[in-house]
Chains A and B, each alone.
Chain A
C-alpha cells in the first residue's frame, strides 16, 4: 500500500481553502443582517478544523514527491471531499434542504454543472446566492488546473496531446505545468473582473453582475433569478453573457498566446476554429427554426439562438428561452450538442472538440486505407502524427462515456423518469450542462421534483463526467491498492 499522507495533506489544504471561501458569504450575510451568516461561519469552522487536522496529521517536512497512483487518488478524493464539505451551508441554512438536495446542489456547483433544486432564487438571501456562484467559480478554476496540469500527465482520455513538455514523468512535468497554471488562473480571475464590469455596464446591478461573471466564466450556469438570464430582458446582458460563455468554453492557452502576443498561434488553434464553426452552424439552424416556426424577428432570433447554442455547447446552462418545452428539431440538435462540449483546456464539459478532431483524422485515414490496404497513412492532428496510444485513449474514453450515458439513463428510467427526461438528464449531467430538454427538468423547471435516487445518481454522474471518468476508473484498476 502506498502512503496516503501527501494525498490527505493536500486534501486538507483544499478543505482549508474552501473554509476560507465560506467566510465571504458569512460576511455578506452579516452585513445584510441575515441570520444565515452563523451557518456559514460554523460550516467554515468545521471545515477548517477538518482540513487542519488532515494537514497537521499528515504533515511531512520534506517536499513530497507525488506518484501516479497518489495523483489519481488525490484528484478523486479532493473533489468528493470538497463537494461534501460545500454542501453543509445548504443543509443547515434557513433553506433546510434534505441531505441529498444539499449534496446535489453543492456537486452541481463544484462541477460547474448548474442544475439546481432551489426555487425562488430572486428572494434568496445574498449569502446563499454568493456561495453558489463561488462554488462554480472555484470549481471552474479547479477544473482548469486539473485539465491543464493533471489530466495530460495522467494520460486520461487522449489528453496527453496537451502535454506541455516532452518529458512524460509526472514529477518532471509538474514544475512547468505549475507556472503555466498560475498564469492561467490569473487570467481566469482577470476575465471574471472584466465580465463583471461589462455586465454592470450592460445594466445589471453590481451584486448579480459579479455573481453572473463568476458562473459565466466557469461555464457553470447558476443564476440569481428563476428565469435565468432571461429575467433581465436586456439584450445587452444577453450579448455579454454569450460572449462570456464562449470565452469560458475556448482553450485558455489561446489567451496566454494572446498575452504573449503570439497572434499566429492563437489564430491557428484548430480546436478553437472547429468550436466556433460548430457554434455558428448550430446558431444558424436554430435561428432559422425560431424565425420560421416561432415567427421571431430576425435579430432577436439570432440572439436567442446564439445564446442557447453557446449555453448548451459550453455546458453552461443559462437560458433566455425555455428550451425545456421545445419539440422536435431544436431539442434534438441541442441534445447532440450536449455531447460535443467545448474545447479541452477550458472550463466547459462534454466529450470536447479535440476528441472529435482525432476521430475525424482517424476516420479519414481509414477511408484511404480501405482503398489502399497496404498504404502507410497515419492520422494527423495539428500537424503532429497521432500515436496509436492516443487513438486508443480516445476510443476508450468514448466507450466509457457512451456506457456511462446508457447506464445513468437506464438508472433514471428505473427510478421512474420518462424516456426523454432520463436521456437528456443523463447527457446533461455527464457533460456538466445543467438543465435538461424535457419540461420536467428544463431550464426554468429545476431538478426539485425528481426522486432522491435520481438526484443522487445525477450528482455522481456530474462528478464522474467532470473528472473525465478515468480518474475514478483508475481507482478500480487491478493493482491500484496493492503494495
Chain B
C-alpha cells in the first residue's frame, strides 16, 4: 500500500505558504479600510491549522525519499488542497460566492488560466483583486517548479528531454526541487518587480501595477478591470506584452543567459519557434485587420500583437473583443489556443517543444518514404530523440485531444453552443482564460454557465495544468494496485 505520509507532510507546507500569502490581502484590506479582512484572516487560520496538523501528524523520522507514486500523488494532492483552501476567502467573503463559483475562480487563478465568474472588477474590494493576482502568481511558481523539477523525472509527455542533470534517479527529487525552485524563484521575482515598477511608471496605481505584473509574468490573465488591459493606456499594454512574452519563455534559459552567454536565449530552438509562431500569427492578423476590417495600420498592429501574445502565452489578457472578430480572426485564435508557450514557463497548452518533436518526426517520416531503409536521426535542439520521448509525446497528444473532445461534448451536454463549447474546452485545457463567442469570449464571463459546466471546466484546467497524465494516472487501476 502506498505510504501517503510524506505526501501529506509536504502538502502541509504548501498550505502554510498559502496561509502566509493570505496575509497580503489582509494588509491590503486594512490599508484600504474595507471589511474583507476577517474572511481572509479566518481562511488563513484554517489553512495554517490544517497545514500544521498535516505536518505534525505525518512527520517521519529522517529524510524520506519520494517514490514515483508518491510524487504523482503529491502533485495532485498539493494542487487540490491549495485550490480548496485558496477558495475559502471567496466563499466566506462579502462576495458570497457559491462553493462552485469560489472553487472555479480559485482554480482558474491557481492554474494561471484567468477565466472569471466575477463582474464589476473595477469596484471590487482591493483585497479580492490582490488575492486573485496572488493566486496566479503562486500558481505560476508552482507550475514552473513542477515542470522544471518534477515532470522531467516522472517522464510526462516527453518532458524527459529536459532532465537537466545526468542523474535521473527519483530519490533526488527533493534536493533538486530545492535547488531549482530557488534559482527560478529569483528570476521570477525579479521579473515581477521590474514589471510592477514599469507599470506604475506609466500611470497605474501601485496595486494595479503589482496585480498586473503578477498576472502577466505567471501568464495568468486576471485583471483589475472588466475591460482587462483595454482599460489602460498604450504604455501599459506594451509593457504587458513584454511581460507575457517573458513569462511564456523557458525560465531555465534565463539562468543560462546569466551563467553562460547572452545568446543562450536565442540558441534554444524552442524559444526561436515560440517567437516565430507569435510573429507569424501577429503579422497575418495585422494584415487581415488592416485590409479586411479597415483598421488603421497602427491600431491593427497593436490589437493583433497584444491579443496574439496573450493567447499563445496562454495569459488571457485582452484589449479588444477578438472573440467577435468573425471569420479568420476567430478561427486563428481557436487554433492558437492549441499551441501554448515553452516548457519551463508558467504557460500552458501543448507547448512549443512538443510541436518541435512532432515536426522533427514528420520531417524524417517524409524522407523515410523515399528511403524506407535509410537510418535517420530525429533530433530536437541538437539532442537526438529517443523512442521513449517520441512515444511519450504521442501519448500526450492522444490524451490532450481526447480530453478536449470529452470536455467539449460534456459542455454541449449542459447546453452550451458549439463555439462556446469548443473554445471553452480548448481554453480551459490550455489555461488560456477567455474562449470565443458571445458568452465566454474576451470581455465575457463564465458566471452564467451552469454549475456542471463550471465543474467540467475547472477539472479541465487542472488536468491541462498538470500535463494530463500526472492527474489522469490517479484514475487508472494500475496506480492503486499492489
**A423 on interface, CB distance cutoff 8 Å:** yes
- CB neighbours of A392 from chain B (8 A): 361, 364-365, 378, 390
- Considering the complex, which residues of chain A in the window 458-483 have a beta carbon less than 8 Å from any beta carbon of chain B? 470, 473-474, 476-480
B155:A399 contact, CB within 8 angstroms:
no
The interface-forming segment of B109-117, B131-139, B174-182, B329-337 is B329-337
Q: Contact string, B143-173, partner A, CB cutoff 8 A, digits 1/0?
A: 0000000000011100000000000001000
**B14 on interface, CB distance cutoff 8 Å:** no
A68:B331 contact, CB within 8 angstroms:
no
Shortest CB-to-CB span from A72 to chain B, Å, is 7
A359:B398 contact, CB within 8 angstroms:
yes
Option from B365, B370, B418 in Cβ contact (under 8 Å) with A328: B418
- CB neighbours of A331 from chain B (8 A): 418
Option from A155, A379, A406 in Cβ contact (under 8 Å) with B369: A155
- Considering the complex, which residues of chain B in the window 408-466 have a beta carbon less than 8 Å from any beta carbon of chain A? 408-409, 412-413, 415-419, 421-422, 436
Option from A328, A333, A366, A473 in Cβ contact (under 8 Å) with B366: A473
Option from A371, A417, A418, A420 in Cβ contact (under 8 Å) with B68: A371
Known: A371-B69, A391-B391, A477-B367. A328 touches B361 (CB 8 A): no
- CB neighbours of A400 from chain B (8 A): 362
- CB neighbours of A420 from chain B (8 A): 418-419
A371:B478 contact, CB within 8 angstroms:
yes
- CB neighbours of A336 from chain B (8 A): 405, 408-409
Cβ-Cβ contact count across A and B, 8 Å cutoff: 163
Option from A155, A395, A413 in Cβ contact (under 8 Å) with B390: A395
Shortest CB-to-CB span from A336 to chain B, Å, is 5
**B201 on interface, CB distance cutoff 8 Å:** no
**A332 on interface, CB distance cutoff 8 Å:** yes
**A409 on interface, CB distance cutoff 8 Å:** yes
- CB neighbours of B365 from chain A (8 A): 392-393, 396, 470
A156:B369 contact, CB within 8 angstroms:
yes
Known: A327-B417, A399-B359, A419-B419. A412 touches B331 (CB 8 A): yes
- CB neighbours of A72 from chain B (8 A): 369-370
Option from A370, A395, A410 in Cβ contact (under 8 Å) with B154: A370
For B154, the closest partner residue in chain A by CB is A370
B370:A69 contact, CB within 8 angstroms:
yes
- Considering the complex, which residues of chain B in the window 270-287 have a beta carbon less than 8 Å from any beta carbon of chain A? none
A474:B370 contact, CB within 8 angstroms:
yes
**B269 on interface, CB distance cutoff 8 Å:** no
**B326 on interface, CB distance cutoff 8 Å:** yes
Interface of chain B, helix or strand or loop or mixed? helix
**B96 on interface, CB distance cutoff 8 Å:** no
**B84 on interface, CB distance cutoff 8 Å:** no
Shortest CB-to-CB span from B400 to chain A, Å, is 11
Known: A370-B156, A371-B69, A399-B362. A388 touches B415 (CB 8 A): no
B387:A388 contact, CB within 8 angstroms:
yes
Option from A68, A373, A399 in Cβ contact (under 8 Å) with B358: A399
* Cα–Cα distance between A331 and B417 once the two chains are bound (Å): 10
**A231 on interface, CB distance cutoff 8 Å:** no
**A368 on interface, CB distance cutoff 8 Å:** yes
- CB neighbours of B378 from chain A (8 A): 392
Interface footprint category on B:
35 or more
**A382 on interface, CB distance cutoff 8 Å:** no
- CB neighbours of A168 from chain B (8 A): 372
Interface footprint category on A:
35 or more
**B469 on interface, CB distance cutoff 8 Å:** yes
Shortest CB-to-CB span from B177 to chain A, Å, is 18
Known: A367-B476, A474-B369. A409 touches B361 (CB 8 A): no
Interface of chain A, helix or strand or loop or mixed? helix
Known: A367-B473, A399-B361. A479 touches B390 (CB 8 A): no
Known: A419-B330, A470-B365. A328 touches B417 (CB 8 A): yes
Among A72, A371, A418, the one with the most B-chain Cβ atoms within 10 Å of its Cβ is A371
Option from B72, B331, B391, B399 in Cβ contact (under 8 Å) with A419: B331
* Cα–Cα distance between A417 and B408 once the two chains are bound (Å): 22
Shortest CB-to-CB span from B388 to chain A, Å, is 8
Option from A155, A395, A417, A479 in Cβ contact (under 8 Å) with B394: A395
Shortest CB-to-CB span from B256 to chain A, Å, is 27
Option from A363, A370, A373 in Cβ contact (under 8 Å) with B398: A363
A417:B372 contact, CB within 8 angstroms:
no
Known: A328-B421, A413-B331. A371 touches B479 (CB 8 A): yes
- CB neighbours of A470 from chain B (8 A): 365-366, 369
* Cα–Cα distance between A243 and B392 once the two chains are bound (Å): 39
For A168, the closest partner residue in chain B by CB is B372
- Considering the complex, which residues of chain A in the window 44-98 have a beta carbon less than 8 Å from any beta carbon of chain B? 68-69, 72
- Considering the complex, which residues of chain B in the window 465-482 have a beta carbon less than 8 Å from any beta carbon of chain A? 469, 473, 476, 478-479
* Cα–Cα distance between A400 and B397 once the two chains are bound (Å): 13
A370:B369 contact, CB within 8 angstroms:
no
B327:A396 contact, CB within 8 angstroms:
no
Known: A367-B478, A470-B369. A418 touches B326 (CB 8 A): yes
* Cα–Cα distance between A413 and B409 once the two chains are bound (Å): 24
Known: A332-B421, A409-B331, A417-B327. A366 touches B369 (CB 8 A): no
Q: Contact string, A313-334, partner B, CB cutoff 8 A, digits 1/0?
A: 0000000000000011101110
* Cα–Cα distance between A400 and B359 once the two chains are bound (Å): 9
**B189 on interface, CB distance cutoff 8 Å:** no
A413:B330 contact, CB within 8 angstroms:
yes
* Cα–Cα distance between A154 and B478 once the two chains are bound (Å): 38
Q: Contact string, B395-408, partner A, CB cutoff 8 A, digits 1/0?
A: 10111000001001
- CB neighbours of A371 from chain B (8 A): 68-69, 473, 478-479
For B390, the closest partner residue in chain A by CB is A392
Q: Contact string, A14-47, partner B, CB cutoff 8 A, digits 1/0?
A: 0000000000000000000000000000000000
For A372, the closest partner residue in chain B by CB is B68
A328:B412 contact, CB within 8 angstroms:
yes
- CB neighbours of A398 from chain B (8 A): 397
B415:A477 contact, CB within 8 angstroms:
no
**A441 on interface, CB distance cutoff 8 Å:** no
A394:B368 contact, CB within 8 angstroms:
no
* Cα–Cα distance between A196 and B372 once the two chains are bound (Å): 43
B329:A413 contact, CB within 8 angstroms:
yes
**A176 on interface, CB distance cutoff 8 Å:** no
Q: Report, nearest first, the 7 A-B pairs whose CB atoms are least far apart.
A: A366-B395, A413-B331, A413-B328, A396-B365, A329-B412, A419-B330, A396-B362
Which A residues are within 8 Å of any B CB, using their own CB?
Answer: 68-69, 72, 154-156, 168, 327-329, 331-333, 335-336, 359-360, 362-363, 365-371, 373, 379, 388, 391-396, 398-400, 406, 409-410, 412-414, 416-420, 422-423, 437, 470, 473-474, 476-480
29 contacts between A and B (CB under 8 A): A72-B370, A154-B369, A155-B368, A168-B372, A328-B412, A328-B416, A329-B409, A329-B413, A332-B422, A362-B391, A362-B394, A363-B394, A363-B399, A367-B469, A367-B478, A369-B388, A391-B394, A395-B358, A395-B394, A396-B362, A399-B362, A410-B335, A413-B329, A413-B331, A417-B327, A419-B326, A419-B327, A470-B369, A480-B370
